[in-house]
């Protein structure tokens, strides 16, 4: 219980910090780093420490990363867009039928609030034209990746195993974001 409360505090603190510095795009990589770290902590705190035996086969066989791997990360603006789209899509996917997901409502609320805030802040720091072909392609690739997560949830009827896979995938996305932030 202590641990849970503590994580919740971190989550709330981060929402607060991010809100305070929302105007400051010069500090983008710093607050994004903090926010991503907090997202990871909340997620890790909720995930099973080992993959449940009955989910193992599903976890191993699911690998839709091609779309993310193809994203062009040579340009800073494109990297920001990729991160922003991942945050937004993560928020969407966690709003799906989550009755089998072992999260309490408070954690889920904090997680959503953080994602929404971070996504909005990041959006306000983007300078590339949303019409740029490269930007659109990046968004499309992130969306395709999350579409495959969403399809999996539906196919497996929002089961515990399906949510286990989603959480593993999202955790890997956050770890990927950690690397991407260093390019900003």
Ligand X SMILES: *[C@@H]1O[C@H](CO)[C@@H](O)[C@H](O)[C@H]1NC(C)=O
Footprint on this chain of ligand X (rule: CB under 6 A)? 97, 99-100, 157-159
Cβ atoms of residues 37 and 149 within 8 Å? no
Contacts of 92 (CB under 8 A, 6+ apart): 146
In angstroms, give the least distance from the CB of 162 to ligand X.
8
Choice between 155 and 172, CB closer to ligand X:
155
In angstroms, give the least distance from the CB of 145 to ligand X.
23
In angstroms, give the least distance from the CB of 130 to ligand X.
33
Closest residue to ligand X, Cβ-based? Answer: 97
Other beta carbons less than 10 A from residue 176's beta carbon = 19
Cα distances from 26 to residues 32, 56, 87, 134, in angstroms, run 11, 43, 20, 24
Choice between 61 and 99, CB closer to ligand X:
99
Choice between 72 and 157, CB closer to ligand X:
157
Q: What tokens were used for 61?
A: 């066989």
Choice between 46 and 65, CB closer to ligand X:
46
Report the half-sphere exposure of 158 (CA within 13 A, side-chain side): 10
Q: What tokens were used for 166?
A: 């989603």
In angstroms, give the least distance from the CB of 82 to ligand X.
30
């Amino acid at each position: 219980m202590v641990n849970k409360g503590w994580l919740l505090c971190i989550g709330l603190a981060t929402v607060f910090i991010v809100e305070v510095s929302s105007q400051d795009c010069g500090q983008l990589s710093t607050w994004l780093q903090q926010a991503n770290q907090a997202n990871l902590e909340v997620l890790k705190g909720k995930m099973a420490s080992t993959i449940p035996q009955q989910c193992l086969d599903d976890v191993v066989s699911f690998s839709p990363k091609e779309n993310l791997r193809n994203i062009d990360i040579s340009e800073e603006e494109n990297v920001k867009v990729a991160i922003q789209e991942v945050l937004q899509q993560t928020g969407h996917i966690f709003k799906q039928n989550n009755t089998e997901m072992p999260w309490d409502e408070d954690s889920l609320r904090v997680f959503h609030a953080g994602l929404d805030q971070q996504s909005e802040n990041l959006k306000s720091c983007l300078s590339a034209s949303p019409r740029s072909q490269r930007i659109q392609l990046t968004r499309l690739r992130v969306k395709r990746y999350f579409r495959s997560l969403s399809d999996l949830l539906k196919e497996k009827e929002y089961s515990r195993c399906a949510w286990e896979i989603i959480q593993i995938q999202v955790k890997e996305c956050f770890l990927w974001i950690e690397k991407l932030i260093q390019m900003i």
